Structure 1
Amino acid sequence: MTLQKDRSQKPTPGPAPDGARRTNPKPEGASRSGWRALLTWRWLLLGFAVAGFALTEFARHNPDWTETVFSRGVYPALSSAVAFLPSLLPFSVAEWFVVAVMLGVTVYLALSVRSILRARPRAKGHALVKAVAGLLGIASVLYFAFVMLCGANYYRHTFAEQSGLEIRESSTEELTQLCEGLAADMTQARSQLEEAMAAEGVATLDEYAAAHGGFAAYADGAVGAVSALASRYPAFDRPLFSPPKPVLASTLMSYADIAGIYFPFTVESNINTSGPFFPLPATMAHELAHQAGFMREDEANFIAYLACTNADDALMRYSGYSLAYDYAISALRKVDPEKAAAISATLSDAVKADRQERSRFLAQFEGPVAQMSNAANNAYLQANNQTDGTRSYGRMVDLLLAEARGESLSDELLQE
């Protein structure tokens, strides 16, 4: 009987002839390896960009959904969760986040260049594609995080709509009366500060602030002032406000003409501390308004004014009135410079001295860096539903005028 070999088993190859190299047979499906390379994690991360863009476009065209579901539902819970750990630290995590990202990208680029240079000639293109896909993947994740922690809120209902303030054209006389009222309120707050400073034996506002707990105390005060707005405006009700943080690189921020930055990736309000202290409480409240989901600059300014001027601390009230007066008098100066000058002349000597000190500080940082920073900020605002760019800051005056007219809805209607 003849035995047949099992044809299902492959014969064991014999030794290769001397001097010859054995080559392994090409694996089945190797021709599809190029397609498999396109499905690595680098390319899959691009899905985050698609999701972020889709959410942005949906939010843009559905403001009711954005306000109700995202800005008052998803965003407060998500941003509070992200903010929790950074809020426990006394320093700005955002600064170190930026440094870490910059170092990480630098290392990634260096390793990618090395990989491309070491690759075989036919594989250099594949290595380049992988490197580019990796960068795009990182950018996609960051973009998605930006949309979830900041960007979609640009398309919510405006604060004017939520507060019932009627924005309309106003006369020069109304603007003049607004400036006169703000000048009087600012002077009164400064007078109260002078009395307190005399009683406590301090000579400057910076010393007064230090005697009352310094940056940390006013950061907590700003959180309290903005949180208190929730009693009238429910949109400010959120699980957590992360206290504002001082920035180590404050001098660099001054050169860039930046007073504060809301950093969405850590949900932190970062404050430039290199100048006089009295504008800081309003800056803190402004950045906390962003943290509450109000991204429009004019609205954040107005919210800061509301929060600070209703605070118990005289320095916070002075800061809020100073912020509002800056914008109102600037608007009046454009339409009636003589009236603006006359109102400015009524300010107390102490108020004038404070404003001159701040002007001297800011003047030393004027230059091309500030101009480029403002241009970049203008482009950012225009890309995020603020089509007037930095000119949208001037709209705060319309909100101030509307509030001065008292044409807001009752608290009962606002709660509904």
Structure 2
Amino acid sequence: MVIKKFRIISISLLILGILLNVITKDMPNLVDKYYSNGINIYSAKFMSKIFSIFPFSLFEILIYIVVLSILIFLIYSIYFILKNPRSTFVYLKNSILNIISIVGIVYFLFIVLWGINYNRMDLKDSLIADYNISHNENIKDVNYDEDDLVSLYRFLVEKCNNARQKVFEDNKNVMRCNTNRKEVLKRANNGYENVNILNLNKRGSYAHAKPIMNSSLLCYTGITGIYSPFTGEANVNIAAPDIYIPFTTLHEMAHQRGYGSEDECNFLAYIACINNEDLDFQYSGYILALKYTASALAKVDYDKFKELSRNLSQSVKNDLNNSSEFWSKYEGKVNEVSDKMNNNYLKANGVKEGTDSYGKVVNLFLIYYSLYEYN
């Protein structure tokens, strides 16, 4: 009887979660105002502070528990079916219902605690609206072309060269952060505190991001960070090259602040990086923006891309080459499967481009600098 009630409640929650997701897709302005910039600010801050009492990533531990539970379930299922072949149908039916029940609860919590953020107003529209309010303007849209993309890449080349001269490097002439990687995570909040657009500096403080214990293992998936909507934790792969650590930290913290789309989180990470007082954060922001912009420019004007890239300092080139060499060691089936899973996850949450959405950040760079100009 208890199990039956549990299933009814769980499946009801699954249906409710689906309905909430579907309904809120058609009301981005309301989601942005009352959920993303209202309820979710307080719930995410509360969870991040509560679970910050654990010095490790609680979400990572939960993942291990889930994986172990699945393995135990599979082993037990095989054992039970072999021992009780006549009860196979009933066992499988009950198992499927139990799995659906668990999925229902998890999905409902995901949607209520954070998932609705995927349905908020596009950051492009928020940037324009924010600019109009602060500058007493009435801009409806921002247009840009290939020349603007060239200007953006030229700007980032110059910024990377200048910033690279001010950061530390190791004995292989590769950039390293000012502090050890765990300490980098503690210095990240400063960036958002200095960002004066979108009221990001008025949201109060969140708990620090956390390092993933098995970061080296995570490299095989190509993942540099994970946000947990169930614990409010921003988790960072600290085994990645140093140029990624500040940017990734602020990317996951953007998720923590209610942004779902990867391109939007990349943009916010960039803005927070270049507004951080620490030079390693600034350089991380510029060089990651450079990588995304380089990819975009190479697709539309490869000759111009090659021409401007010749202006990169040897030190910046060292960092880019080191990054390529590092990730090439982890290419393989695990990386492919992880990428497909991430792609499907994003598409399931309304991000049509899937993992390709990461590169859409260049459009946001162009919009931002069309509004605020280069500085």
Superposition TM-score tier, normalisation by shorter sequence: 0.7 to 0.9
Aligned-residue CA RMSD in angstroms? 2.7
Comparing 99-108 and 347-356, the one that deviates more: 99-108
Residue in 2 that maps onto 1:170: 144
**Structure 1 portions without partners, runs of 5+:** 1-35, 409-416
Residue 126 of structure 1, CA deviation:
4.8
Residue in 2 that maps onto 1:375: 340
Where 1:261 maps in the other structure, the secondary structure is: strand
Cα separation, 2, equivalents of 1:366 and 1:392 = 21
Residue in 2 that maps onto 1:217: 183
Cα separation, 2, equivalents of 1:260 and 1:130 = 36
Instruction: Tell whether 2:32 aligns with 1:58.
Output: no
One-letter amino acid of the structure 2 residue matched with residue 189 of structure 1 = A
Instruction: Tell whether 2:134 aligns with 1:134.
Output: no
Cα separation, 1, equivalents of 2:3 and 2:176 = 62
Cα separation, 2, equivalents of 1:222 and 1:37 = 47
State whether residues 343 and 355 of structure 2, in contact with CA within 8 Å, keep that contact through their aligned partners in structure 1: yes
Larger radius of gyration: 1
Residues 272-301 of structure 1: per-residue CA shift (max 9 Å, x gap): 222321221011111111111111111111
Residue 362 of structure 1, CA deviation:
1.1
**Structure 2 portions without partners, runs of 5+:** 132-139
Say if 1:48 and 1:318 are closer, same or farther in 2 by CA, change over 3 A: same
Comparing 105-114 and 391-400, the one that deviates more: 105-114
2:313 is aligned, of 345, 348, 363, to 348
Where 2:304 maps in the other structure, the secondary structure is: helix
Instruction: Tell whether 2:62 aligns with 1:88.
Output: no
Residue in 1 that maps onto 2:35: 70
Cα separation, 1, equivalents of 2:116 and 2:44 = 13
Residue in 2 that maps onto 1:144: 108
1:366 is aligned, of 312, 317, 331, to 331
User: Any residues of structure 2 matched to 1:164-243 within 5 Å, and which?
Assistant: 164=128, 168-193=142-167, 203=171, 209=177, 212-229=178-195, 231-234=196-199, 237-238=202-203, 240-243=205-208
Say if 1:303 and 1:207 are closer, same or farther in 2 by CA, change over 3 A: closer
Instruction: Tell whether 2:268 aligns with 1:294.
Output: no
State whether residues 52 and 143 of structure 1, in contact with CA within 8 Å, keep that contact through their aligned partners in structure 2: yes
Cα separation, 2, equivalents of 1:79 and 1:182 = 33
Where 1:242 maps in the other structure, the secondary structure is: coil
Query: Structure 2 length normalisation: TM-score?
Result: 0.87
Residue 237 of structure 1, CA deviation:
4.3
State whether residues 167 and 398 of structure 1, in contact with CA within 8 Å, keep that contact through their aligned partners in structure 2: no
Cα separation, 2, equivalents of 1:126 and 1:370 = 37
Residue in 1 that maps onto 2:225: 260
Residue 169 of structure 1, CA deviation:
4.9
Query: Structure 1 length normalisation: TM-score?
Result: 0.79
Say if 1:350 and 1:124 are closer, same or farther in 2 by CA, change over 3 A: closer
Query: What percent identity do the matched residue pairs reach?
Result: 30
Cα separation, 2, equivalents of 1:323 and 1:167 = 26
Cα separation, 2, equivalents of 1:141 and 1:240 = 29
Say if 1:75 and 1:113 are closer, same or farther in 2 by CA, change over 3 A: farther
Residues 229-268 of structure 1: per-residue CA shift (max 9 Å, x gap): 3x43226644552322221222232211111111222222
